[in-house]
Structure 1
Amino acid sequence: MIQGSRRAFLIGASAAAMAVVAGSATACSTTGGGGDSNYGGEIPPLPAPLKNELQQLADSRNIMGCSVSAVTRDRTVYADAWGTARAGQPMTTRSTLNIGSVSKTVTATAVLQLVASGRLAMETDVNDVLAHSKIYGPRSVRSPHHPDVPIRVGHLLTHLTPITSPIEPGPYGYSYRAGEVPDPAEMGRWLHDFLTPAPRGWTYDAERNFLKTVPGEAHQYSDIAYDLAAHIVQAVTGQYFSDYCRDFVLRPAGMNRSDFNRDQLPVSDRAHPHAWFVDGVKQGMWPDYRNLIPQSIPDDFTGHAEYAPYTSCLVADGGLRSNAIDLARWARLWLGEGTIDGKQVLPRHIASAALANQVPERILASSEAPLPFISQGYVWHRLRGDSEGVWQHAGSEFGTATYVMLDTKRGVGAAVVCNTEVAIDADPRVQMLQRLLDAAARA
């Protein structure tokens, strides 16, 4: 799950891309199809009783469209979908949308590949990389409260930096907008302005952009730390982040319909974000940004609102577009300790380290993260109540909700992809995942 910093003050809405879709939760239950013989092979749909149970859970929370998958180390056991992807289009197992913070698991993988090849180390001071970058961005990043303490690569992947996001509206929220995909150089420019002291950094604020904690000594979930990690990838490789991930992470993993660049994916496969309104009031986790809705919302409106497929230059922390089929492969890669179908994306010892606790218990005990962390690996984490061997990452963006869970003891995994925002206290995804993991274990 992600914390309140991941807000979107979305600008420049495209009226042609948006519509208000009236209807009830029951109206979203149209079957969207199961396994797709043209994409990912012949994958069985869910057994009818299980699909009905999951669909009821989703419908009870007014989720417009949902796709799911369940895997073992060796195969995708089930993939299925139901509901509406966007106006006039059914949700399918290949419907793509921004998956929120699950994106961080791909960003971390890009960094881990550079560690595996010896081009980075977890102890590397980020300034040693930034100072030699040929891609524009911050040349140095230090906490203004602890200027002599380095921020290290490992801190970025384990949420041990003091880098935070200011209260919205602010530069983080203003990075979101409808319309064209940002130039790939924009992320570096944004990070430069946010992390470089004035007068060079236009949005730098020592009090709002940094907590007063010592780097490496406090755990707080940070979106911008992952955007900085992506810029480190750019600085080391000389290749824009989205291009690097496509070439060295996503395509080698067989995730052929996933990308950080929306325009690399077929328009026909795109799902749009949605929110559920009751008597004119938006439900869900995040604030109400009606600038994305071309029509006014009447005070008595109850139904779904379809929003523009917004973009941001800060894709690395939550902007990957993906789907249930590709996330099934992603789960299999991690269950396979970095390898899927004979293709190694990460060395085994690096993948194993990502699924092992990297943060001392004393630090996690006082974590500023919004959920009860009991283990923090490299990006993946465990929460209070998780069974032994369970590692997970959730993602929630404005109008979307995604979750991937691994059970390494049983060798099974699952993914849930929803194109509707859910409320933090009414989230059906964990229950859905547990049913999918059990089904995979029985297969």
Structure 2
Amino acid sequence: MNSIKYTLLLSILVLLAVSCSSVSEPDKAVHQLEVTAELSEAEVDSIASALSLFPNGTQFSIAFISDSIVSFYGAHRINDVLESIDNHDRVFEIGSISKVFTSTLLAHAIHDSAISADQTVRDVLDVEMAGNPDFTFLQLSNHTSGLPRLPGGYTFNFLWNMDNPYKIFDEVELKSYLKNDLTLSRDPGEAHRYSNLGAGLLGFFLSELENISYEDLLQRKIFEPMGMNRSTTDRENVEEYLVSGVTKRGGSATNWDLADLAGAGGILSTAEDLSRFIRSNFNPDDPVLSLQREPTFQVSDNMDVAMGWFILNRDSGAKWYWHNGGTGGYRSSIVMDPDQKIGVVVLSNISAGHSKADNIDRLSFDLMETYFAN
């Protein structure tokens, strides 16, 4: 994909637009990353080139998945030296990649006949919503619900609490917003518009439907069955494994609390756990994950949307399933080709507000192209 298309996709997918004031470039780093049996010198240089853009304290945790074989590579920048480390089981905030898992829960609910994809939320749940909107569960999943990116009327709160902007959205606040302040920017199903609010509400509504918490839904339906033992929305459960986030200026970032909008970006995970999820998607006989990957809306000739996934239509004819994520102290990207049974995970602890943060996404694409071309 050319740089213009990259820019368009990345502008859509960052979880929250953080302040764009200038950040000084870091000093040049000494490249001491190790070439391994799995990674060529060119691939390691590609990782080093991306890592060198970010301040000291930044880490990358990378997984390469090829059918049933997974290889890991970790790197960090300390005292302006790039060094290899083992961090495959260390925990990062994954931001909007959480939306993929929220849609996996939707696919489970559909497969279990608890709901149908095209049922409206109002037809299923007794929830008061201003204007009685008719968006469906599927439309919340593929960003065609007509909901705005963020809850209307909360701009000041987001600006005032940039270090942890979603923390006020507990059940009481969210239900009050739905009842009194909910507005749609366009009719449901009319167009694609990326919405953190919509994805967060999807997780909230599925929790209401099943009458258990979003965290418990994730654990029962996805994380426990797949052996994703360090994936959670409860930071206290993984505190000892957590990699600290880094702000765009190289300071210590505050971890984000997404309260009852956790479905939009509240999951913490590891490269190892995410590789397990990708490998599960390589099984064509898995009815839930196969359902989730079906295209549901065409954004452009180059991109379709499934439940939670963006499908990148490559010039080669391949279809790459992709999502990225960003919070105040982390940036991540996962991409996979289920037909070829290959995938890449790149987790980092650099703020999504860093001016070079989109290089995390670009690195995941570059590694897909070079690693699996060998």
TM-score by length of 2: 0.80
Matched residue of 2:216: which SS?
A: helix
8 Å CA contact 1:72, 1:440 repeated in 2: no
> Which of 243, 248, 253 is equivalent to 1:276?
248
Residues 205/231 of structure 1: CA separation in 2 closer, same or farther (3 Å cut): closer
Q: Who is 1:403 aligned against?
A: 333
Q: Distance in 2 between matches of 1:8 and 1:230?
A: 24
Counterpart residue number, 2:308: 379
Q: Decide which moves more: 400-409 or 379-388.
A: 379-388
Aligned-pair CA distance for 1:49:
4.6
Q: Is the 8 A contact 2:73 2:86 kept in 1?
A: no
* One-letter amino acid of the structure 2 residue matched with residue 434 of structure 1: F
After TM superposition, which residue ranges in structure 1, 4 or more long, deviate above 6 angstroms?
28-31, 173-178
Residues 275 and 345 in structure 2, CA contact (< 8 A), matched pair in contact too: yes
Aligned-partner SS, 1:119: coil
Quote how far apart the aligned CAs of 1:408 are. 2.8
Instruction: In structure 1, give the amino acid aligned to 2:72.
Output: A
Counterpart CA distance in 1 for 2:18 and 2:124 is: 30
Compute the TM-score of the two structures, normalised by the length of structure 1. Answer: 0.69
Matches within 5 A, 1:362-441: 364=299, 374-383=303-312, 387=316, 388-422=318-352, 423=354, 427-438=358-369, 441=372
Question: 1:401 touches 1:419 (CA, 8 Å); kept in 2?
Answer: yes
Shift of 1:356: 2.9
Query: Does the 8 A contact of 2:320 with 2:336 survive in 1?
Result: yes
Deviation at 1:415, TM superposition (A): 0.7
User: Which is richer in helix?
Assistant: 2
1:428 is matched by which residue type in structure 2?
Answer: N
Structure 1 window deviating more from structure 2 (105-114 vs 432-441): it is 432-441
Give the distance between the partners of 1:305 and 1:268, measured in 2 at CA. Answer: 20
1:329 alignment counterpart: 276
SS at match of 1:305: coil
- d(CA) in 1 for partners of 2:62, 2:187: 40
Tell me whether 1:6 sits opposite 2:16 in the alignment. Answer: yes
**Percent identical across equivalent pairs?**
17
**Map 1:299-318 → 2, pairs under 5 A:** 304-313=250-259, 314-318=261-265
User: Is the contact between residue 94 and residue 267 of structure 2 (CA under 8 Å) also seen in structure 1?
Assistant: yes
Distance 1:8 1:243, change over 3 A: farther
How many aligned residue pairs are there? 350
Partner of 2:192: 219
Structure 2 gaps, min length 5: 1-9, 79-84
In structure 1, list runs of 5 or more residues that go unmatched. Answer: 10-21, 36-43, 132-138, 198-203, 278-303, 338-346, 366-371
Map of 1:116 onto structure 2? 111
1:194 maps onto 2:177 in alignment: yes
Larger Rg: 1
Alignment of 1:12-411 (within 5 A): 24=26, 26=28, 46-47=39-40, 49-62=42-55, 64-76=58-70, 78-83=71-76, 92-131=87-126, 139-141=127-129, 144=131, 147=132, 150-164=134-148, 165=150, 166=152, 169-170=155-156, 187-197=170-180, 204=181, 206=183, 210-211=184-185, 213-265=186-238, 267-277=239-249, 304-313=250-259, 314-337=261-284, 348-359=286-297, 361=298, 364=299, 374-383=303-312, 387=316, 388-411=318-341
Question: Matches of 1:378 and 1:59 in 2, distance apart?
Answer: 35
8 A Cα contact 1:69 1:436, kept in partner: no
Q: CA RMSD in A?
A: 3.6
What is the CA-CA distance between 1:440 and the residue it aligns to?
A: 5.2
Going from structure 1 to structure 2, the CA distance change for 1:5 and 1:332 (only over 3 Å counts) comes to closer
Aligned residues of 1:335 and 1:406 also touching (Cα < 8 A): no
Cα 1:241–1:177 change in 2 (3 A) is: farther
The one-letter code sitting in structure 2 at the alignment partner of 1:305 is G
User: Which SS does the other structure have where 1:307 is aligned?
Assistant: coil
Distance 2:30 2:216 in 1: 36
What SS is found at the alignment partner of 1:406? Answer: strand
1:379–1:417 distance in 2 versus 1, CA, 3 Å: same
